Structures are given as structure tokens and as C-alpha cells.
Amino acid sequence: MSHEHYAARPHPEFVVLEIGEDLGALIVHTGADMHGVEVEISPAGEDRQRTHKQVLERFAGGRSTHTLVFDQLPSGRYTLWADDQPKIRDVAVRAGEIAECHWPSEGRAAA
């Protein structure tokens, strides 16, 4: 299944997070305008060491939300990227916990 088709459908399934003694997770809340956009994450100060996820439409509490879910993150601080531009810096993730943040309201960076 291509990435485009994967992001296009709603995702009602539960998300299983791998967190624990050494690992945490980050949930990033976005607007619907970010649906399908690929966002990268890197450890703070290591801008070239990136992984990525797509913004997906999920359902929580009976309503639609658009989120990114990054798990298996070592405790530390992170930078979030879109269109090769840093959008959010210094997001703290703690081992054994789920951190949350909100994407900037202007949406994705200009191409």
C-alpha cells in the first residue's frame, strides 16, 4: 500500500505505543490542512538524523483529529520538520511518558 493511500483513509484503529524505562512517545496535534503531510523528527542538535511519519486522521472521543504519533523515542529533546524546515524545536520527551504538542497554526512550510 502506498503512503498516499495509507494517509488518505481514516485510521479508527488503536495505536500501540512502545514506551518504557528508556523510551517515550510524542503525539503532535495538527489541523486538517496537514492531513497526509510527512513530518520529520530529529534529536535536538542532530538535524541530519531524521525519521518521519505522516499526519493521519484518527478518531478520539467520537471526533476526528489529525495527529502524528512518534514512539520508541529515547528521552531527550527533539526538533520537528516539514518541507526541510524546522517548525518546532526543543520538544521534551521523557522515558516512560507520552509528551504532546500542537503544530504551529500556519500549517506546513511554504514550498
DSSP 6: H
Domain-located, residue 110: no
Query: Residue 93's beta-bridge partner residues?
Result: 76
Domain that includes residue 59, residue range = 3-102
Distances (CA, A) of 14 to 11, 56, 58, 90: 8, 13, 9, 28
Q: Cβ atoms within 10 A of the Cβ of 84, count?
A: 9
CA 30 to chain centre: 9
Q: Report the number of distinct structural domains present in the chain.
A: 1
pLDDT in tens, the chain (111 residues): 444 566 666 655 667 788 899 999 999 999 999 988 999 999 999 999 999 999 988 887 788 889 999 999 999 999 999 999 999 999 999 999 999 999 987 654 433
**Model-level pTM?**
0.83
Q: What is the CATH number of the domain that holds 16?
A: 2.60.40
Domain-located, residue 81: yes
